[in-house]
């Protein structure tokens, strides 16, 4: 079954289901990045032992993890338990055994997760707009003035490609704006300061003076995008477990 969905060399994220101890340290639900080394059977895979700052992270046998496997525009999720770890041909390996069904998720940027998050926003200054228009999309980061006051808004859904928010003020379509918000990961809080382009604006039905804005990120880097997608999967995982009573 596994071989129908995942491939050797695919990126894998491991997030502990419960806090565990390794090398006299505590795994505080940290995300470990690794790769599939081999597919052993329909319910077992080998992955490379994760590393941090050139040091192997010896995750303990019998610990359980939420596993994300990235396959192009798809992501496969399942729970698994470490049943063995060893060294083979100078490669350190852990063996994972599935303990749940495999879930397939469309890993598209525009997959939107419903939420209610505080956000600050403002119009871009003229020099900031010019920097956005002149930037190299692959390498340049737009310099933003972090001292200008922001106006409050509420994000009502979020994706790796943008946000939808409501506010008691209105931006114009195609306007470039500064967006600032925090995401609470299991490993801690992170602040995001991003430039967005307003794709659509409309007044909220039955709420005069309240406006809904749909915004696309303009300067987000791949690492930030992956973090936001990971946040969405984290929150969906929490919701599934609440629904199942765990």
Place of tokens 């696309």: 216
- Domain range for 46: 2-106
Sorted by sequence, the CB contacts under 8 Å of residue 234 that are 6+ apart come out as 15, 185, 186
- Residues 122 and 224 both lie in one domain: yes
- Give the domain-ending residue among 75, 106, 137: 106
Please tell me the pTM assigned to this model. Answer: 0.64
User: Encoding tokens for residue 208?
Assistant: 């005069």
What integer pLDDT is reported at residue 9 of this predicted model?
92
Task: Using alpha carbons, list the distances in angstroms from residue 24 to 48, 58, 151, 156, 186.
Answer: 21, 10, 46, 41, 20
- Residues 236 and 125 both lie in one domain: yes
Sorted by sequence, the CB contacts under 8 Å of residue 50 that are 6+ apart come out as 14, 32, 33, 34, 56, 57, 59
How far is the C-alpha of 35 from the C-alpha of 124, rounded, in Å? 40
What integer pLDDT is reported at residue 18 of this predicted model?
66
What CATH number corresponds to the domain at position 32? 2.30.110.10
Task: Using alpha carbons, list the distances in angstroms from residue 73 to 37, 42, 70, 108, 229.
Answer: 21, 22, 8, 6, 12
- Residues 121 and 157 both lie in one domain: yes
- Residues 181 and 87 both lie in one domain: no
Q: What is the pLDDT of residues 100-126, one digit of tens each?
A: 888 887 655 557 889 999 999 999 998
- Residues 90 and 130 both lie in one domain: no
Q: Identify the segments of the chain with pLDDT beneath 70.
A: 18-29, 106-110, 136-141, 243-246
- Give the domain-ending residue among 81, 106, 131: 106
What integer pLDDT is reported at residue 5 of this predicted model?
85
How far is the C-alpha of 68 from the C-alpha of 99, rounded, in Å? 14
What CATH number corresponds to the domain at position 196? 2.40.10.220
What integer pLDDT is reported at residue 166 of this predicted model?
97
Residue 76 β-bridge partners: 69, 104
């Amino acid at each position: 079954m596994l071989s129908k969905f995942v491939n050797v060399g695919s990126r894998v994220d491991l997030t502990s289901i419960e806090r565990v101890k390794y090398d006299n340290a505590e795994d505080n639900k940290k995300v470990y990045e690794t790769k599939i080394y081999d597919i052993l059977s329909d319910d077992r895979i080998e992955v490379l032992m994760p590393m941090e700052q050139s040091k192997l992270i010896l995750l303990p046998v019998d610990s359980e993890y939420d596993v994300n496997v990235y396959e192009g525009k798809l992501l496969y999720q399942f729970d698994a338990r470490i049943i063995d770890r060893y060294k083979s041909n100078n490669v350190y390996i852990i063996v994972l055994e599935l303990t749940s069904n495999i879930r397939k998720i469309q890993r598209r940027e525009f997959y939107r997760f419903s939420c209610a998050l505080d956000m600050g926003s403002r119009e871009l200054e003229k020099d900031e707009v010019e920097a956005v228009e002149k930037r190299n999309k692959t390498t340049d980061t737009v310099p933003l003035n972090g001292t200008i006051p922001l106006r409050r808004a509420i994000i009502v859904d979020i994706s790796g490609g943008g946000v939808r928010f409501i506010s008691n003020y209105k931006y114009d379509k195609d306007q470039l704006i500064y967006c600032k918000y925090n995401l609470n990961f299991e490993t801690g809080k992170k602040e995001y300061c991003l430039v967005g382009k307003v794709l659509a604006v409309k007044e909220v039905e039955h709420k005069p003076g309240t406006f809904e804005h749909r915004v696309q990120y303009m300067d987000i880097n791949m690492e930030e995008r992956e973090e936001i997608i990971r946040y969405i999967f984290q929150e969906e995982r929490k919701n599934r477990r609440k629904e199942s009573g765990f």
